[in-house]
Amino acid sequence: MFCSGCGCGQIMNALLFAIDELKLDTKNMVAIGGVGCSSRIPAYLDMYAIHGVHGRSLAYATGIKLTKPELKVVVLTGDGDCGSIGGNHLIHAARRNLDVTVIMVNNGVYAMTGGQAGPMTLGGVYTTTTPRGNLEKPFDLCKLVETAGGTYVARWTTAQPAALIRAIKRALLHRGFAFIEVASQCPTIQGRYSLGILDPVKNIEYLQQNSITREQAAKMVPEKLVGKIVVGKFVEKQLPTLEDSYREMENKIGHVSKQS
Amino acid sequence: MLGNHAIVEGAIAAGCRYFAGYPITPANEISEWMAKRLPEVGGRFIQMEDELASIYSVCGASLTGTKAMTATASAGYNYMQEGIEYAVAAEVPIVIVDVMRQRGDNYPTQSDVMQARYGAAGDHEMIVLTPSSVQELFDLTFEAFNLAERFRNPVIVLSEATISLMHEGIRLPRPEELRIVNRKKPNVPPDQFMPFRAEEDLIPPMSEFGDEYKVLYTLNPHDESGRIAWTPEMYESLYSRITKKIADKADEIAMYDSEFTGDAEIVVIAYGSEARGCVEAVRMARKLGVKAGMLKLKNIWPVPEKAMKDSTLNAKKVLVPEVNTGRYFHVVRETLGCRAEVISVPKNQGRIHSPDEILAEIRRVL
Amino acid sequence: MNAISADLAAAAVSKQKKILRVKKNFNVTVNEKLCKGCYFCIRFCPMGVFVRSDVIGELGYDIVKVEFPEKCNGCKACLLYCPDLAIAVAEAEGSDHKT
Residues from chain A that touch B20, judged by Cβ atoms under 8 A, are 62-63
Q: Which helix (H) or strand (E) holds B160?
A: strand B154-160
Contact assignment for C1 to A200 by CB distance below 8 Å: no
- Nearest residue in chain B measured CA to CA from A243: B44
Confidence band for C25, pLDDT divided at 50, 70 and 90:
confident
Residue C1 maps to a domain: no
**Residue B301 per-residue DSSP state:** E
**Fold of domain A7-252:** Rossmann fold (3.40.50)
Residues from chain C that touch A163, judged by Cβ atoms under 8 A, are 1
Listed in sequence order, the residues at least 6 apart from A121 whose beta carbon sits closer than 8 Å to its beta carbon are A108, A109, A127, A130, A134, A136, A138, A194
Residue C44 maps to a domain: yes
In whole angstroms, give the CA distance from residue C77 to residue A208: 15
In whole angstroms, give the CA distance from residue C18 to residue B128: 78
Residues from chain C that touch A232, judged by Cβ atoms under 8 A, are none
Query: By the CB < 8 Å criterion, does C37 face chain A?
Result: yes
Query: By the CB < 8 Å criterion, does B44 face chain A?
Result: yes
Residue-range domain boundaries for chain B: 3-177, 256-365
pTM here is: 0.91
Query: By the CB < 8 Å criterion, does B212 face chain A?
Result: yes
**Residue B228 per-residue DSSP state:** B
In sequence order, what are the beta bridge partners of B267?
B293, B318
pLDDT digits (tens, 9 = 90+) for B104-125: 777 888 999 999 999 888 889 9
Q: What is the pLDDT of residue C99?
A: 46
Residues from chain A that touch B219, judged by Cβ atoms under 8 A, are 51-53
> Coil, strand, or helix at residue C36?
coil
CATH code where residue C54 lies: 3.30.70.20
Q: What is the pLDDT of residue C1?
A: 47
**Fold of domain B3-177:** Rossmann fold (3.40.50)
Residue type at A89 in one-letter notation: H
CATH node for B256-365: 3.40.50.920
Confidence band for A136, pLDDT divided at 50, 70 and 90:
very high
Nearest to A208 among C3, C82, C83 (CB): C3
Confidence band for C3, pLDDT divided at 50, 70 and 90:
low
- Find the mean pLDDT for residues C37-66: 92
Q: What is the pLDDT of residue C98?
A: 53
pLDDT digits (tens, 9 = 90+) for A63-111: 999 999 999 999 999 999 999 999 999 999 999 999 999 999 999 999 9
> A187 to chain C, minimum CA–CA distance in Å?
10
**Which one of A3, A8, A10, A19 makes the best mutation probe of the C interface by having the most chain C beta carbons within 10 Å?**
A10
Residue C69 maps to a domain: yes
Residues from chain A that touch B44, judged by Cβ atoms under 8 A, are 66-67, 246, 257, 259
Residue-range domain boundaries for chain A: 7-252
Residues from chain A that touch C40, judged by Cβ atoms under 8 A, are 5, 200-201, 204
Contact assignment for A62 to B52 by CB distance below 8 Å: no
Q: What share of chain B is helix, strand, coil (3-state, %, to 5)?
A: 40, 20, 40
Contact assignment for C81 to A209 by CB distance below 8 Å: no
- Nearest residue in chain B measured CA to CA from A46: B214
Q: What is the pLDDT of residue B27?
A: 93
User: Tell me, what's the ipTM?
Assistant: 0.91
Contact assignment for C85 to A165 by CB distance below 8 Å: no
Domain of C92, in residue numbers: 6-98
Residue C74 maps to a domain: yes
Q: Do domains B3-177 and B256-365 have the same CATH topology?
A: yes
b/e map of B8-45 (b: 16 or more CB within 10 Å)? bbbbbbbbbbbbbbbebebbbbbbbbbeebbbeeebbb
Listed in sequence order, the residues at least 6 apart from A223 whose beta carbon sits closer than 8 Å to its beta carbon are none
Residue C18 maps to a domain: yes
